[in-house]
Structure 1
């Protein structure tokens, strides 16, 4: 199963009773294992969880901290990029050259990288004292 297929499959499990906007994400850890996440809404906005954050959480819970590939899919007119917070989360666990595939359920695709999604990212180097 491709990474996009994994994202497509988990998207169907999204809990979105308010927006009805299902998003699925799948990431590949350095081990090759695929971790999935879907968005989960809460009536107390903005307490929901994004699909990308769910996939990262699954990866970390499994003991991995490096991702090597990302796929995100939604039913939208054009591919939906991760929100700002998820871009930073992806950057925490993936290098700037990690490929990111953004797709729609109708088949449109956009290929990018974590670095292109979040140029000038804040990282641990900003916290180091010389």
Structure 2
């Protein structure tokens, strides 16, 4: 059973966690809030590193926190940054999201000017690479 949470509340949680981002290189803090079907919210902020490839985006931090706590059923996600338009997740985040989110799950993207857009996971990443695309295991 999905838990109902107001979209604005989830976006506000993403804005709050954004303040904790560690972004000494890009100066581009991002916050994400992930609602599980059990009603728990996992938040994440981006965390950078001088070796750029080992940095982690806010969306993946929130997802990995939830997965590490045993949560695997998600209902909505919100992502916020200080951009001119609602901030879209990067390609790496979209691929991770497609692994764990149902195609109809709602993704709310926003900015600090209260511009927002909502789309499904399928709209965000159509025709994504899926586990079923991997070769079947021989028995």
1:129 positional shift: 3.5
**Per-residue deviation at 1:80?**
1.2
3-state SS, counterpart of residue 27 of structure 2: coil
TM-score by length of 1: 0.94
Secondary structure at the aligned position of 1:9 is classed as helix
| Residue among 38, 42, 48 paired with 2:49 | 42
CA-CA distance at 1:15 after TM superposition: 0.3
**Structure 1: 5+ residue runs without aligned partners?**
none
Structure 2: unaligned runs, 5 residues or longer: 1-5
Could you list the per-position Cα deviations for residues 85-116 of structure 1 after superposition, in whole angstroms to 9, with x for gaps in the alignment?
11011111111110111000111111111111
Question: Following TM superposition, by how much is the alpha carbon of 1:66 offset from its aligned partner in structure 2, in angstroms?
Answer: 2.2
Give matches, 1:2-41, under 5 Å.
2-41=9-48
Match of 2:76, SS? strand
Query: 1:127: Cα distance to partner?
Result: 2.4
- More off after superposition, 7-16 vs 61-70: 61-70
The answer for the alignment partner of 1:113 in structure 2 is: 120
Q: State the Cα deviation string for residues 36-68 of structure 1 (Å, max 9, x = none).
A: 000001111122100000000110111111221
State the structure with more CA Rg.
2
1:65 aligns with 2:72: yes
Q: Normalising to structure 2: TM-score of the pair?
A: 0.88
* Aligned length, in residue pairs: 130
Please give the alpha-carbon distance, in whole angstroms, between the structure 1 residues aligned to 2:136 and 2:48. 39
> What SS class does the counterpart of residue 79 from structure 1 fall into?
coil
